[in-house]
């Protein structure tokens, strides 16, 4: 096994099997943090090996210590997909600027190299069949017309310890400034306090209620590995796999809506990467400044 090195990361195990060219990630933290790390490491491996890995094993220690979640969430695409035609300048820019941070890939959205991320998303992060089914069920069950919808993803919980978070009034002010009050405003949050603040804001919106709410402000995903799947199912009427599939589908749904507005975090860059651009995707960089 060959180690993969990058800044920012601790207490994880990330390695490349030189024979099978399979990259394995064993790491704590949330889903989108780990997917951000995967994207960064794909490029590190390309720099060291001269080619991209053949596959990915994704063990998310925040949720379970023994399961590879990759096939539950994704399916590989054409193995021939590589970085052919990508300029050396773009690759160098990615290595210099697109390292994992608390805001996703890098600190400035102008540095995201979509020519590269589009290839990586297409190669490794095609939705599994079950995720595709789940996404369509969410859209149908909630009667969503993406062309007429504004998707807000807001939370505080554990994120408040990492970055400056916007006040709820800043979300509503943005809706007003963009003249989007006549759209179907969809609020996604796992933070019960954020939900209550939105209810008091005067903004007309509806929630999707596809994933559980965090009730203790530590971050819903934190420490879920301590809860076996049977107990998790009894508490939340879904398995951990279903939870992860739903949260991934909600990110995809956000990228499909006319506008997407999100709190500062890994979704600030992951949603645009699913979309393939920053068009109509608005992310808070801190409590006052937008990406």
pLDDT of residue 225: 82
Q: Which token pair is 210? A: 């596809």
Q: Which token pair is 159? A: 């994120």
Sign of the torsion angle spanned by Cα atoms 257, 70, 246, 269: negative
Q: Give the chain's mean pLDDT.
A: 88
pLDDT of residue 162: 56
> Interhelix angle for 114-124 vs 267-275, to 10°?
80
What lies within 8 Å, CB to CB, of 166 at 6+ separation is 263, 264, 284, 287, 288
Query: Higher pLDDT residue, 181 or 11?
Result: 181
Report whether 221 contacts 30 (CB < 8 A).
yes
Report whether 273 contacts 260 (CB < 8 A).
no
DSSP 225: G
pTM over 0.95: no
Instruction: Write out pLDDT tens, residues 62-109.
Output: 999 899 999 999 998 888 899 999 999 999 999 999 999 888 999 888
Quick count: other Cβ atoms within 10 Å of Cβ 67? 15
Report whether 250 contacts 188 (CB < 8 A).
yes
Report whether 119 contacts 81 (CB < 8 A).
yes
> Per CATH, is 145-283 categorized as 3.40.50?
yes
Q: Can you spell out the DSSP letters for 101-117?
A: ETTEESS-GGG--HHHH
Residue range 162-172: mean pLDDT, rounded: 81
Residues forming CATH 3.40.50 domain(s) in the chain: 145-283
Quick count: other Cβ atoms within 10 Å of Cβ 111? 14
Q: Is the pLDDT of residue 286 over 70?
A: no
93 class by beta-carbon count within 10 Å (0-12 exposed, 13-18 middle, 19+ buried) = middle
Query: Higher pLDDT residue, 250 or 264?
Result: 250
pLDDT of residue 10: 46
Backbone angles phi, psi at 133, to 5 degrees: -65, -45
């Amino acid at each position: 096994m060959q180690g993969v090195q990058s800044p920012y990361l601790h207490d994880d195990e990330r390695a490349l099997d030189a024979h099978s060219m399979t990259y394995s990630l064993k790491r704590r933290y949330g889903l989108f943090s780990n997917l951000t790390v995967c994207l960064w490491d794909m490029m590190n491996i390309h720099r060291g090996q001269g080619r991209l890995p053949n596959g990915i094993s994704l063990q998310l220690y925040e949720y379970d210590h023994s399961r590879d979640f990759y096939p539950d969430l994704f399916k590989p695409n054409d193995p021939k997909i590589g970085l052919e035609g990508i300029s050396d300048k773009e690759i160098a820019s990615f290595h210099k600027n697109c390292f994992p941070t608390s805001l996703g890939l890098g600190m400035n959205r102008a540095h995201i190299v979509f020519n590269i991320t589009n290839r990586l998303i297409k190669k490794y992060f095609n939705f599994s069949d079950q995720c595709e089914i789940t996404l369509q069920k969410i859209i149908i069950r909630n009667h969503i017309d993406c062309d007429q919808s504004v998707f807000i993803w807001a939370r505080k919980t554990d994120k408040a310890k990492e970055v400056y978070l916007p006040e709820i009034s800043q979300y509503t002010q943005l809706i007003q400034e963009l003249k989007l009050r006549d759209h179907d405003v969809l609020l996604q949050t796992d933070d019960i306090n954020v939900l209550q603040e939105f209810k008091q804001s005067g903004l007309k919106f509806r929630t999707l209620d596809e994933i559980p709410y965090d009730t203790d402000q530590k971050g819903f995903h934190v420490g879920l590995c301590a809860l076996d799947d049977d107990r998790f199912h009894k508490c939340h009427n879904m398995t951990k796999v279903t939870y992860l599939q739903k949260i991934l589908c909600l990110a995809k749904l956000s990228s499909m809506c006319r506008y997407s507005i999100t709190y500062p975090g890994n979704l600030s860059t992951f949603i645009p990467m699913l979309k393939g651009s920053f068009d109509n995707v608005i992310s808070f960089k801190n409590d006052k400044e937008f990406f």
